[in-house]
Structure 1
């Protein structure tokens, strides 16, 4: 059985965490309550921004106090989200979330620091994962120097993780997360990159294969109109490990000629996060833009107007199949869970609906209790799906 028997995780980047105090407050205010609402046996995928990681590494008291807070909340932690480096709860995040990229020493050191912190936070006998940016944001074709530097730094990360294992006995793996409009966005691009990475690793190839893999975000690949089952099969056949699977759903506009549905979609055009939008005909992408706008919804360009369907990178609740006149990629999420079950190992599973605070649909931002109850419903829905699969 390859579906993980570890506690299901949810990603805590949905909560503010710009200091250790804020991380602790999030664990006590949200995570512990969510755990109680779902009957316990829940894990939290922490987001430790650069200032938080620095504070934990520099202050032994703060570092020593975090693990007891997780334990007291009835939680565990075996995965970190090291994709956002800076303030993921700033008034405007957009393209800043991809900085610094994998050519920089800052990204390399941040990733190492997060891995070291996770090694201290993980329960005994459990392997860990740290997800990261898909090399960087891509407005143009990346240069050979850019790609070579990324490969070099990721190989160095693998060697560090191998040394960390020798030092601590803990296995921590890096999970690179493809995303629309990034250097790595599609499964074929990821497979090609890993082939080059393995080839360039030389004597370190075995170490790289052991410690470096993918974070497969189902929302991202569904937005690209990928066949999820075939996508996961391609990754497995290429010998790339899925170290982490982020369970998430995108928005679907099934009939772009439906004005009421487009009007409802316009309410999701918000100023904080990027919401890459794709249009397809007969399942093939024919148009794309790096952000959803109200103008696109109210006055679609000819290529979007003529598309059969739109998909939008806006993480919506994983238990939702419909959102008013809109729908979601819940079917693709179910496909992913079935495909994972065919692997020879168990990837980490993490629900990542970071958009609860901005999921207003023309209403006020979600209140504390609605975020708690919403995430609890997601956890219960995924648990029920996994239970059905295990029973089968």
Structure 2
């Protein structure tokens, strides 16, 4: 779906296909028929955006077989679908029985990550609608935080310079601009917007920036306005917004809340969990390194900022890894945008609304690609009986928020 901002910017809204399981091209094409087109029909629109997740094997095939790339583009058009963004964060095997930290491999110190990302950009350049201003590709925030010695950090930084150069070559060859956004995520080298500034400042802002995931932002207890100002002041554009919600337990000591959280503690995906003693102050949460140093030294946090404490997965939190008396817990579990979870849990949909307002409620649009990314439908305690209907309801929720901000439906 497309919307027109008051400044004339075309804002693209779609959903990410990493919710569907497919590791080959035939599987991807089947997704379009079995899920994406029915979602479009449920919404009653002529054109629906779909942010494709293409596993490494699919991308490799598309780059070496132009005819297959043409087949994918034709199939998208025939089903009323368009693609302006790719999700290149997962490399492969995203729907294995156990994914967990494997999703961060290969990282940006590995040549394979650079090659894959540039191949995704080439594929996207060929898939872009003729009238799309640019494309976007989202990727991981460099790496999981450990091990990350200085030599690997230096290697990754050089890879980012080569990435910018490669994107410039693609634009020269195709006439299409593709930007790459690094997606801060709890537990990674870049888990907050402050760390994004530290690690990514000085990169080519015409081609590299941030993919802002609203769930991750909420889990780290970042205030949207302060986070976005921080990025803007550092010259880091929001290349793409992943519209997503985290799970929140207002009182993690409540037996009913703990029982509901236990039902979310599934084995496939990592569900980083955080708590904050001071929430909503607009300050910058401490980094993992700062938190560790403070805990080891016994120092109190004197800066008046949210003191964010966390563990790497929900079972650890439930087993005593997080206190239950310092504030709410937020869990990296992408919850459907439109639906309430099992009581007394709730989602961070309200904060997602604030993110949308900060990005698109001003006189100038600060982002033009929005992707609903609820990849967790298959691990919900209650399995959906109508997945296309659920995805359509999420997109309708997002559509209503955009039009409520004054954007016009641009059919």
Q: d(CA) in 1 for partners of 2:190 and 2:367?
A: 23
The residue aligned with 1:26 is 31
Extract unaligned runs of 5+ from structure 1: 199-207
Question: Do structure 1's residue 352 and structure 2's residue 355 form an aligned pair?
Answer: no
Would the aligned equivalents of 1:2 and 1:340 in 2 still touch at CA under 8 Å? no
Q: Residue 296 and residue 178 in structure 1: after superposition, are their counterparts in 2 closer, same or farther (change >3 A)?
A: closer
Indicate the SS of the match to 1:374.
Answer: helix
Residue 226 of structure 1 corresponds to 222
Q: What residue number does 1:309 align with?
A: 328
Q: Distance in 2 between matches of 1:357 and 1:74?
A: 25
Cα shift readout 1:50-89 (whole Å, capped 9, x = no counterpart): 0111121233332210001111111100000000001111
In structure 2, relative to structure 1, the CA distance for the partners of 1:234 and 1:314 (3 Å cut) is same
Higher relative contact order (CA 8 A, sep 6+): 2
Aligned-residue offset at 1:188:
0.5
Cα distance change of structure 1 residues 3 and 105 upon mapping to structure 2, 3 Å threshold = farther
The DSSP-based 3-state class of the residue aligned with 1:245 is strand
Cα distance in 1 between the residues matched to 2:8 and 2:238: 12
Distance 1:174 1:261 in 2: 38
**1:248 maps to what in 2?**
244
- Work out whether residues 241 and 367 of structure 2, in 8 Å CA contact, stay in contact via their aligned partners in 1: no
Q: Please tell me whether the aligned partners of residues 251 and 324 of structure 2 are also in contact (alpha carbons under 8 angstroms).
A: no
Mapping for residues 1-392 of structure 1, pairs under 5 Å = 1=6, 5-40=10-45, 41-126=47-132, 127-139=134-146, 142-195=148-201, 197-198=202-203, 208-283=204-279, 284-293=306-315, 296-297=317-318, 299-301=319-321, 303-341=322-360, 342=362, 343-360=364-381, 363=382, 365-367=383-385, 369=386, 371-390=387-406
1:35 is paired with a residue of what secondary structure? helix
In 1, the alpha carbon distance for the partners of 2:394 and 2:189 equals: 30
Aligned residue-pair number: 373
C-alpha RMSD of the superposition: 1.7
Paired with 1:153 and 1:107, the residues of 2 have a C-alpha distance of: 9
Residues 52, 85 of structure 2: 8 Å contact kept: yes
- In structure 2, how many angstroms separate the alpha carbons of the residues matched to 1:17 and 1:391? 34
State the SS of the aligned residue for 1:379: helix
Label 1:268 to 1:232 Cα distance change in 2 as closer, same or farther (>3 A). same
* CA shift for structure 1 position 226: 0.6
> So what's the TM-score if we normalise by structure 2?
0.87
Q: How far apart, in 1, do the equivalents of 2:307 and 2:43 lie?
A: 39
Quick one: distance in 2 between partners of 1:315 and 1:129? 21
Deviations 1:104-156 (A, max 9, x none): 1100100110000000001013110000010011135x333222211111111
What SS does structure 1 have at the residue aligned with 2:211?
strand
Q: TM-score, normalised by structure 1?
A: 0.91
Shift of 1:3: 9.2
Q: 1:166 to 1:380 in 2, by over 3 A?
A: same
Partner residue in 1 for 2:295: none
Q: Secondary structure at the match of 1:175?
A: strand
| Greater share of residues in helix | 1
Task: After TM superposition, give the deviation of residue 321 of structure 1 in Å.
Answer: 4.8
Once residues 354 and 4 of structure 1 are traced to their aligned partners in structure 2, the CA distance between those partners, rounded to angstroms, is 28
Deviates more, 1:284-293 or 1:175-184: 284-293
2:288 is matched with none
